[in-house]
Amino acid sequence: AQSVAQPEDQVNVAEGNPLTVKCTYSVSGNPYLFWYVQYPNRGLQFLLKYITGDNLVKGSYGFEAEFNKSQTSFHLKKPSALVSDSALYFCAVRANTGGFKTIFGAGTRLFVKA
Amino acid sequence: GAVVSQHPSRVICKSGTSVKIECRSLDFQATTMFWYRQFPKQSLMLMATSNEGSKATYEQGVEKDKFLINHASLTLSTLTVTSAHPEDSSFYICSAGTGRRDEQYFGPGTRLTVT
């Protein structure tokens, strides 16, 4: 069965500092991995995805994520945080075979302090 | 880019009534649509998956007679919450897939409040 873990409910970082939001996954076969961001009372906005290839994936708004197969992790990173990055972040996984079900992590709330 | 709309964005209904939420893919044909439910400060829980012209597949624990899903065309899916109760109040989000495993587009969500 697929599962996603986001071990931190909340991450606090000062503006201008690097940020990391952690994600680990479990899925049969090779995974499709995604990061989404959600602002209050809004739907999900796609940030980036990993399918295959280079382990470092670059996405929207300066975010990037590193796929680590041995650690089954897909951590989201940004070199310099902005106050406007404060939001709820979801990691998601979809198996590359079988059904098209996407499973989401519990979400991590990011607070960037000015 | 691919756009998914939901209507209405907010709805308030009285307990015991039914409410319908529409999900449309505006510029692509959605072979599969998904309905999620999100409680405050919680993750998205998949409720059901629907393919155009066939019955929806519901996740364990989701009452299919309460949450009726219809995927009448390749651009429209509807979720009807029947005999709504206050505990059905939630944020409902739909998403649409193009058939490619790496593509899934989300609607803006519908806030349902049952009084």
Cβ-Cβ contacts under 8 Å, B3 against chain A: none
Q: pLDDT (tens digit, 0 to 9) for every residue of chain A, 114 residues total?
A: 788 999 999 999 999 999 999 999 998 888 899 999 998 878 889 999 999 888 999 999 999 999 999 999 999 999 999 999 999 999 999 877 766 788 899 999 999 999
Q: B58-88, pLDDT tens digit by residue?
A: 999 999 999 999 988 999 999 999 999 999 9
Helix (H, G, I), strand (E, B) or coil at B88: helix
Phi, psi dihedral angles at A111 (to 5 degrees): -115, 120
Minimum Cα–Cα distance from A33: chain B residue? B102
| Contact: B46, A46; criterion CB under 8 Å | no
Instruction: State the pLDDT at residue A98.
Output: 67
Kindly list the distances between the CA atom of residue B45 and the CA atoms of B20, B21, B35, in Å, as whole numbers in the listed order.
19, 17, 9
B70: exposed, middle or buried (C-beta count within 10 Å: 0-12, 13-18, 19+)? middle
Q: How many CB pairs under 8 A join A and B?
A: 53
Identify each DSSP E strand in A1-114 by its residue range: 3-5, 10-14, 19-21, 24-26, 31-38, 44-50, 56-58, 64-68, 73-78, 87-95, 102-104, 108-113
Q: A99 and B43: CB-CB below 8 Å?
A: no
B75-112: buried (b, 16+ CB within 10 Å) or exposed (e) per residue? Answer: bbbbbebeebeeebbbbbbbbbbbeebeebbbbbbbeb
Q: Which of B9, B104, B111 to mutate to test the interface with A (most CBs of A within 10 A)?
A: B104
Q: Count CB neighbours of B43 within 10 A.
A: 18
Tokens of A21: 């939001």
Q: Which residue has the tokens 């940020």?
A: A19
Q: Please list every residue in chain A whose beta carbon sits closer than 8 Å to the beta carbon of residue B108.
A: 42-43
On the 0-12 / 13-18 / 19+ scale of CB atoms within 10 A, A102 is buried
What three-state secondary structure class fits B73? strand
Give the gap in angstroms from C-alpha A114 to the nearest C-alpha of chain B. 23
Give the CA dihedral B21, B109, B69, A107, nearest 10 degrees. -160
- Which candidate from A96, A101, A105 shows the least CB-CB separation from B46? A101
- pLDDT number for residue A22: 98
Are B101 and A49 an interchain contact pair (Cβ–Cβ within 8 Å)?
A: no
- Which class for A19: exposed (0-12), middle (13-18), buried (19 or more C-beta within 10 A)? buried
